[in-house]
Amino acid sequence: MRYGAKVLFEDVTTAFTPGKRYGLTGPNGAGKSTFMKLLTGELEPQKGTVVRPRKLGVLSQDQFAFDAYRVIDTVVMGNKRLWAAMEERDRIYSQPDITDEDGMRLGELEGIVGEEDGYTAETDAAILLQGLDIPDDLHERKMGELQGGQKVRVLLAQALFGHPPALLLDEPTNHLDLDSIHWLQTFLNEYDGVLIVISHDRHFLNSVCTHIADIDYETIITYTGSYDDMVVAKTQVRSQVESQNAQREKKIAQLNEFIARFSAGTRSSQVQSRRKEVERLQVTELARSNIQRPFLKFEQKRPSGKHILELESVDKSYGDAHIIRGFTASVLRGEKIALIGRNGAGKTTLLNALLASSPTVPDAELRNTSGYDGPFLSDGKVIWGHEAAVGYFAQDHRALIQGEMTAFEWLHQWDLSASHEEIRGLLGQMLFPREDAIKPTDVLSGGEAARLLFCKLMLQKPNVLVLDEPTNHLDLESINALNIALQRYPGTVLLVSHDHDLIDEVATRIWHFEADHKITDFKGVYEEYRAAVPV
């Protein structure tokens, strides 16, 4: 498959075996989603053939396609043969007169419904929905009434419904909270068909996958083991080829020196044999890897005071709906706090309440990203400590980047004393080619917008980082770079994320948002928290 001069992959022959679970990896732009569309039949390959089973479970990327249908029906639609039979059966029964021919057809349709477990379809669909935290009272609602995150979970249930022999999931953990991700991991580990999954969540890939199909070097190479195993194996293979090439180049140089010295003399037969050996030793041509690694380093202009943040009986409600009840906490300089809990539990609401009182995040910026124009705090106090300078990465981070500017202009406005080379250097660190400095901010992709915001945080050098879902548009390489940068950052971090490894390796403290609107404050790392209070 190629687009113009850009080759995504060429002459790929590979098979996916039942009982094995494949992670489809590769950097942004390598062709993962395109390859997935070739497997589902949504796209045709420009050359070659794809053989697939009759029934495929595919995670639909169109959140609005089923808005007119009940939630439970949307899930059952995952089994296309069953849904078609049930619809035709209902249509025949709704007719005023049923002919003998209709009766015969009804018998056939009932046979299909029986074969496809149609008589327990709604119960089976309800079990899937409950596992993905879609409560019973939403099952009869229309899809159009659900929030975006809930829709994604229903579409995931649709893909899983009817036990298809092959499951193709493109970013299934997007918009899922940690509890739902853990449930999905358990479900997929018990699944006995072929699983092919694209994910930027390293922990999820390591927990679920038995193999990794990696798109790079304009081909697809399948490695046995988890994502981490693949990274090691891929590095070893690359190093081995590079080492062999270095030895061959040395040998070729020696042979060429002999040929140059004696080609005009009496040793013509030896020269000829050396020439043949040079041809035989030609260096293995190394295709260029698509992988690019950003360089993230967060610094602080000056450290904050020891007591960076105090929360006293913080309360937030919208009308009669309570979100946070009486939360009190004290945060010390250098603590890294992960805010975890179900979607909608109030994590972003608490961040907004803290940011509304912060000395360095403008109120307009906060209202742009939250879309909320009321007070961010209902009761209680938020007190920031001496010299607190807060850097903010919003969940809706596109709202932080105004249009009608170039990427360079947008970044430079945050520190007009910074030199042009410093700005270009930061953009280069975050993988913006030199010509992309003049790219209009209006046309930036989600990943580019996220990387530009990280440039801003590196330029501003705050001593507190407030990050709300920073990994949503990042590839694995960028997430790993963010993970390392946060571990090394000497300042204070407040982090909302559903990335297990990021929380596990960065956080020194956990704020868990409970179902009763209370927040559990655990001073320790995530694994200790899970052992003490099973999530």
Q: For residue 199, is it within any domain?
A: yes
Q: What is the CATH number of the domain that holds 207?
A: 3.40.50.300
H-helix or E-strand spanning residue 316: strand 307-318
Q: For residue 251, is it within any domain?
A: no
Residue 293, token pair as written in the block: 């690694």
Task: Give the Cα separation of 72 and 44 in Å (integer).
Answer: 32
Q: For residue 282, is it within any domain?
A: no
Q: For residue 287, is it within any domain?
A: no
Claim to verify: residue 93 and residue 181 sit in the same structural domain: yes
Claim to verify: residue 223 and residue 315 sit in the same structural domain: no
Claim to verify: residue 221 and residue 317 sit in the same structural domain: no
Claim to verify: residue 330 and residue 186 sit in the same structural domain: no
Claim to verify: residue 357 and residue 492 sit in the same structural domain: yes
Q: For residue 166, is it within any domain?
A: yes
Domain end call among 230, 255, 272: 230
Contact (Cβ atoms closer than 8 angstroms) between residue 498 and residue 519: no
372 vs 368, 369, 376, CA distance in Å? 8, 8, 8
pLDDT per residue as tens digits for the range 243-256: 777 787 788 888 88
- The residues of the chain scoring below 50 in pLDDT are none
Question: 10 Å Cβ neighbour count for 222?
Answer: 15
Half-sphere exposure of 56 (CA within 13 A, CB side): 17
- For the chain, what is the domain count? 2
Claim to verify: residue 421 and residue 518 sit in the same structural domain: yes
Nearest to 468 by CA among 373, 349, 383: 349
Residue in this structure with the two tokens 């940690």, named with its chain if needed: 178
Task: Give the Cα separation of 363 and 352 in Å (integer).
Answer: 10
390 vs 27, 104, 327, 394, 410, CA distance in Å? 31, 72, 21, 12, 19
Q: For residue 221, is it within any domain?
A: yes
Claim to verify: residue 417 and residue 521 sit in the same structural domain: yes
pLDDT per residue as tens digits for the range 339-353: 999 888 899 999 999
Number of H helices, E strands in the chain: 18, 17
142-168 b/e (C-beta count within 10 Å ≥ 16 → b):
ebeebeebbbbbbbbbbbbbbebebbb
Domain end call among 230, 256, 282: 230
Q: What is the pLDDT of residue 382?
A: 93
Structural domain boundaries, residue 32: 2-230
Q: For residue 298, is it within any domain?
A: no
Q: What is the pLDDT of residue 295?
A: 92
Claim to verify: residue 387 and residue 523 sit in the same structural domain: yes
Q: What is the pLDDT of residue 271?
A: 79
Residue 377, token pair as written in the block: 């705090």
Domain end call among 212, 230, 248: 230
Q: For residue 263, is it within any domain?
A: no
Q: What is the pLDDT of residue 287?
A: 58
Claim to verify: residue 313 and residue 224 sit in the same structural domain: no
220 strand-pairing partners = 215
